[in-house]
Amino acid sequence: MGSVAVRRFVGPRSSDGTAAQARSSWVIKAAGAVLWREADGDVEIAVVHRLRYDDWSLPKGKLDRGETIPACAVREILEETGYSCVLGRFLRQVSYAVGGDAKTVDYFAAEAVSGSFVANDEVDSLRWLPVDEAAALLTYAPDREVLAEFGRLPADLLLVLLVRHAKAGKRSEWDDDDDLRPLSGSGWKQAEALQSLLPLWAPTRVHSAPRVRCVDTVRGVAEDLSVEMVEEARLSEEGYWPDPDAGLVRLLEIAAQEGRAVVSSQGGVIPSVVQTLAELGGLRIDEVPCKKGSVWVLAFTRPFGTWSTSDSPSRWPTLVSAHYLASALPRP
């Protein structure tokens, strides 16, 4: 397997910006997951034994060139465990040194949906265990910390993929109705990347603010799913700001519906929605970036029983995890 490493100079620099010392280090990027499945009303975790290291760990591996971190997690799960999976919430990033280089591993929750284990060159054994037993078997403390984060919340959460529309050129250079401003060439590339990335979370519904640039950003996802896109006027800038509470409630309604949702909106809406939902849920987010073509992976608790907006807010879906993906494009 290939890997992606980012070279960064760690020595001082001269006045022209070049490295004054040749010493540099590599950051090795990797991804993995807590792979889970339901078992008799509870949850079991897959723990793998690596023959080369004689250790028990969570499945993970290095990025291939031209691969995104979420795609790497899904591929490595399949290669090491034999299971196809669907990604859930982001758990945490682990950092450590390998030789003289730094390595980071991004971990997601991931539900096993099909497959079976067959011993391979990397993994000679796999055990499905309850969370506590899996934690006791894991060799390394960072893996146990990742598993503890997984166990902090229910495995089966509601999920919304909140997308800012892709690049659409400058508003000042568009003479027609701004609602009709189309994606630029780079925007279409971002839309194609989202068409590959978003299915890793297995959405079943696609919603969009009624703007051409918002609709076209996720049109490919809707076509691949063979579903009609649902127009969401409350989640456009003009529809949201006259009544932000109504916009927030609408997003919660979308989250609570059956199946996961993709929602395409605008930069004037997304930061307010994410920050407000985080504050309501007691979730600390220091900043809410929102680049064009970016994605917020939002996970919510499931309301008990049938839920409606007439219920007490204490029974509404609560935001418990928010992870920002700045780009759907792979690293060069």
- Average pLDDT of the chain to the nearest whole number: 90
Q: What backbone phi and psi angles, to 5 degrees, belong to 253? A: -60, -40
Q: How many domains does the chain fold into? A: 2
Q: How confident is the model at residue 304 (pLDDT cuts 50, 70, 90)?
A: confident
According to the model, what pLDDT value does residue 194 have?
98
Query: Do 167 and 29 fall into the same domain?
Result: no
Q: Which of 133, 151, 169 is the last residue of a domain?
A: 151
Distance between CA atoms of 127 and 26, rounded to whole angstroms?
33
Higher pLDDT, 177 or 215: 215
The encoded tokens of residue 42 equal 């509870």
Distance between CA atoms of 68 and 63, rounded to whole angstroms?
7
Say whether pLDDT at 290 is over 80: yes
| CATH classification at residue 187 | 3.40.50.1240
Range 262-283 average pLDDT:
97
Say whether pLDDT at 23 is over 60: no
According to the model, what pLDDT value does residue 16 have?
41
Query: Do 214 and 121 fall into the same domain?
Result: no
Query: Do 244 and 132 fall into the same domain?
Result: no
Question: In this predicted model, what pLDDT tens digit does every residue of 230-244 receive, in sequence order?
Answer: 999 999 999 999 999
The fraction of the chain above a pLDDT of 90, given in percent, is 80
Range 120-136 average pLDDT:
97
Q: Which of 151, 184, 199 is the last residue of a domain?
A: 151
Distance between CA atoms of 236 and 208, rounded to whole angstroms?
8
Query: Do 105 and 243 fall into the same domain?
Result: no
Say whether pLDDT at 1 is over 50: no
According to the model, what pLDDT value does residue 181 have?
87
CA dihedral (151, 153, 157, 160) in degrees, to 10, reads -110
Say whether pLDDT at 6 is over 80: no
* Lowest mean pLDDT segment, chosen from 44-48, 58-62, 105-109, 181-185: 181-185
- Give Cα separations from 29 to 2, 43, 47, 70, 318 (angstroms): 11, 29, 21, 12, 32
Range of the structural domain that residue 321 is part of: 158-325
According to the model, what pLDDT value does residue 98 have?
83
Q: How confident is the model at residue 172 (pLDDT cuts 50, 70, 90)?
A: low
Q: Which of 101, 120, 151 is the last residue of a domain?
A: 151
